[in-house]
Structure 1
Amino acid sequence: MAFASTSDGYKLFYEEAGSGTPIIFVHEFGGSHWSWEPQLNFFARRHRCITFAARGYAPSDIPADVEAYSQVRAADDIIDVLNAAGIEKAHVVGLSMGGFATLHAGLRHPGRVLSLVAAGTGYGAEKAHEDYFKGISEQVAHNFETRGAPDFAPTYAEGASRVQFQDKDPRGWALFAERLGRHDAKGAANTMRGVQMRRPSLYDMEADFRAMQAPLLVMTGDEDDHCLQPGIFLKKVVPRCGLAVLPKSGHTLNLEEPALFNHLVGEFIAQVEAGRWGPRDPRANPAQIMRTE
């Protein structure tokens, strides 16, 4: 088992497969390093693939103090894993919580990223729902602590943007829910309180995103309602951003639609490496409806 040492003294488990240009995969709150198995199976054929368990997720360290968890730390942990693996630059692919960490890593460490994929990223970002998101996040943290992960996992896994996965792939969803039930309750609660509840809204970071030069692919399901508008926002403000909306899809995109997810990410990375993922053509003026002269 391989472990990376973080700059604040914790250990993060990581594993890798394949060879070639590196890709590091950053998991969501409801997943862990195992969430990316369909991607490692596919991309390891031509890339060096890294996946890791975030702090709070066994077999990585599970700090007891909630102050050891933050959005900044989540972004910096990505770089600490790259350092441990001896990787200077990598494509960074994140889902949900991992998508937020991916975006922040791109802003904080632009020299370490080749490109960014932020999938299912937006929960808590909508200004109108900030207070609601914080309140429901506290309830989720409380439920993990009081009910335990095995009891609460089936409830969490059957959320409004997860049932699409359950409907399409009952066996895959059941495995997701069962693995979620193995999470450390304290690690889950601390992650929810320290990272999810405290992270800044994407809309408050508009100036930073307008200055971002990394190629970015934003992916969202069309039934992942609270990620749709944040995805459009990122498309509008990040210069080299593309937006993919997957039809009849929810939040757990990489497991719910693995073939389509892999195809879109693979095409994106291929275009980036060919130097073909540039900023929007200035002739594509969003204020124009039709050209008249």
Structure 2
Amino acid sequence: MRNDVVVTTRTYLLRHQLYRVHSAGHRTSTPILFLHGFLGEGEDFKPLLKRLAKNHYVLAVDFLGHGRSAIPANVRRMTMAQTLCDLHALLMHLSLPKVHLCGYSMGGRIALAFALRYPQHVVSLVLESASPGLATAEERDLRIEQDRRLAERLLNDGMQKFVATWETTPLFASQKKLLQCVWERQRRTRLRQRARGVAMSLLGIGTGAQPSYWERLITLNRPTLIMTGELDGKFSSIAHKMLEKNSKFQACTFAHTGHNIHIEQIERYASVIRDFVDSHK
């Protein structure tokens, strides 16, 4: 029974920063590590951890600036390079030499970057509504400026107004069909994020601030599953281009689903994750 599953939450000091990590299940198989998206936290995956914990050891982490992990003093501590080093430190601290890595949106960008930098620690990779970044320097510069203005607006207006605007973007339109209790739970998660931490995340590890990994996709030799919702036109297009870069990637499209698949279609999502991971032990 899922209600009997205990999700344990612990805090670890990794490279002088506190990280909160959720875990469930028994360490009898290669763990599955879930990485959340922007405005999210590891607890977003709690219902999923409970569904998978019977036969898998599962974890979810709060990134710096999100959830109850630390907010560094300087945005340079939140870059992609620093985040990858922190994830590596987490695996070493927990004595987890190999993981199945599953990342959503921002977490997917980080998961992809980690698999490229530390392939020896990744058994398989699942990218949910994720991208390899922006291909050109011009695109990245434009996005950096957009995110700078967005971070400034967030700090001036506060989380309440920022979240209200964020939830009206077309990317999340399909979530209007969620059960009210699910929608409200997700909204509470967004609202309890700290404005300074979220703003620093935009500046430190936003899509414009990270390197482009488009040309490195061909070098990725770990089993990789790209998941998209059919109603998410933007990331469906990105996924198609990623598949053109590496024909060994697998794809899974979820019908009647938008950007946030693990919330909109949790039962099928759990089933797909379970099948993919079990086929690449």
TM-score w.r.t. the length of structure 2 is 0.88
**1:105 lines up with 2:105 in the alignment:** no
2:171 to 161, 166, 175: 161
Q: 1:255 to 1:123 in 2, by over 3 A?
A: farther
Q: 1:225 to 1:201 in 2, by over 3 A?
A: farther
1:47 aligns to what SS in structure 2?
A: coil
Q: Give the drift of 1:209.
A: 1.6
Amino acid at match of 1:201: S
1:198 to 209, 212, 237: 209
**1:173 lines up with 2:180 in the alignment:** no
**1:138 lines up with 2:145 in the alignment:** no
Aligned Cα RMSD in Å? 2.0
1:90 to 95, 99, 103: 99
List aligned pairs for 1:1-293, cutoff 5 A: 2-7=10-15, 9-19=16-26, 20-21=28-29, 22-122=31-131, 125=134, 130=140, 133-196=143-206, 197-203=208-214, 206=215, 208-238=216-246, 240-273=248-281
Q: Check whether the contact 1:123–1:226 (CA below 8 A) recurs between aligned residues.
A: no
Q: Which has the larger radius of gyration?
A: 1
Q: Give the drift of 1:129.
A: 5.8
Instruction: Quote the Cα distance in structure 1 between the aligned partners of 2:217 and 2:70.
Output: 32
Number of equivalent positions = 269
Report the more deviating stretch, 162-171 or 46-55.
162-171
**What are structure 1's unaligned runs of at least 5 residues?**
274-293
Q: Give the drift of 1:3.
A: 2.5
Q: Give the drift of 1:242.
A: 0.4
TM-score w.r.t. the length of structure 1 is 0.85
Instruction: Quote the Cα distance in structure 1 between the aligned partners of 2:89 and 2:11.
Output: 10
Instruction: Quote the Cα distance in structure 1 between the aligned partners of 2:218 and 2:132.
Output: 20
1:150 aligns to what SS in structure 2?
A: helix
Q: Check whether the contact 1:99–1:119 (CA below 8 A) recurs between aligned residues.
A: yes
Report the more deviating stretch, 240-249 or 121-130.
121-130
Q: Check whether the contact 1:25–1:51 (CA below 8 A) recurs between aligned residues.
A: yes
1:115 aligns to what SS in structure 2?
A: strand
Q: Check whether the contact 2:40–2:66 (CA below 8 A) recurs between aligned residues.
A: no
Instruction: Quote the Cα distance in structure 2 between the aligned partners of 1:126 and 1:157.
Output: 27
Q: Check whether the contact 2:33–2:102 (CA below 8 A) recurs between aligned residues.
A: yes
Q: Give the drift of 1:133.
A: 3.7
**What are structure 2's unaligned runs of at least 5 residues?**
1-8
Deviations 1:197-247 (A, max 9, x none): 3012343xx2x2211111111111122222122211222223531011212
Instruction: Quote the Cα distance in structure 2 between the aligned partners of 1:39 and 1:239.
Output: 29
1:46 aligns to what SS in structure 2?
A: coil
Q: Check whether the contact 1:151–1:181 (CA below 8 A) recurs between aligned residues.
A: no
1:265 aligns to what SS in structure 2?
A: helix
Instruction: Quote the Cα distance in structure 2 between the aligned partners of 1:258 and 1:264.
Output: 10
